[in-house]
A = this chain, B = another copy of it.
Amino acid sequence: MSKSYRLVAFGCRLGRMAYAAAQASIGDSEFDRDTTITERPGEPGVYDAELSAGWTIITAVNGGYLLAMVGRALAAALPHPDPFTVSAHYLTSSEPGPAVIRTEAVRVGRTLSTGQASLYQYDESGAEVERIRVVASYGDLAALPDDVRTTALPPAMPPYEACLGPEAGPAPIPGSNAIVDRLRLRLDPATAGWALGAPSGKGEMRAWFELADGRDADPLSLLLAVDALPPTCFNLGMMGWSPTVELTAHVRRRPAPGPLRISITTRNLAGGFLEEDAEVWDSEDRLVAQSRQLARAPRS
């Protein structure tokens, strides 16, 4: 596959947009409907799900969407509600269609519980094929003290209106680009040169981020957000497919309503792999999530 799904995502965003007219809410939104899980009768901790074609790029399902769905299953299976640290290893590419998530409560503690989950799809014979394996520790974000002793600052980027939306860029690329309609993503112009054929040479990507139907962020949608931007390697002049090997996300705080700012940086692209570090900031200037992934560098 020579074109990155994330390039497609951005490119298509430039061609058409479909903002929902009505403001969706947490629990009643595209994201919530498309990450619905249903526990199997008589099989506690086993959840059927349907991977929506609405979150695909070309032929694959977005990895952050998968992580959010598995995160929802673990929230159902564990006594604590919120993902604190979620480690995912991506095994095979997911496709739209039925899936099953099998969870295990590994350890239940007072303030944290640890669980494991795998998402499977089915081959032609109906056998389960594992797509993603996750180990995660859950807690209660609302129970945390409000102390903040941090040196981190929000990403230096222009205001929302000065960032680049779908009107400013190249034409769509063939293939499924359904996820484009699910997001409102506005790129910092300093990190959008790749879209116009002039990559910055720096391993950075910054954007304002919202769900297209206006649903506010919550801890589960943060698991989507950390893997929703175009990859930093585009700004290093490498425009191909950059599959995630492993991604670990830390959710540090319940996000305030309003758009998020996401900053992604790569310090080390070497030996055919790169790391991508994401920070997600909310409208109250609080660092609500951090993630790091190891990805394969594009072959191009």
**Interface residues of A, Cβ cutoff 8 Å to B:** 84-85, 87, 89, 91-92, 106-107, 112, 114, 116, 130, 133, 135-137, 141, 144-152, 202-203, 236, 245-246, 248, 250, 252-253, 266-273, 275, 286-287, 290, 292, 294
Contact = CB atoms under 8 A, between A and B. Distances in A.
Given A150-B269, A152-B267, A287-B270, A87 B203 contact: no
B275 A290 contact: yes
A251 to B, nearest CB: 10
A271 B147 contact: yes
A92 B252 CA distance: 22
Main secondary structure of the interface of A (DSSP, over half): strand
Contacts of A202: 151
B146 A271 contact: yes
B89 A137 contact: yes
A162 B89 CA distance: 41
A108 B114 CA distance: 26
B275 A250 contact: yes
Contacts of A89: 85, 87, 106, 114, 135-137
Nearest to A107: B91
A246 to B, nearest CB: 4
**Residue from A85, A147, A267 having most chain B Cβ neighbours under 10 A:** A85
The interface centre, meaning the residue of A135, A145, A148, A246 with most chain B CB atoms within 10 A of its CB, is A246
Contact of A106 (B91, B106, B148, B273): B91
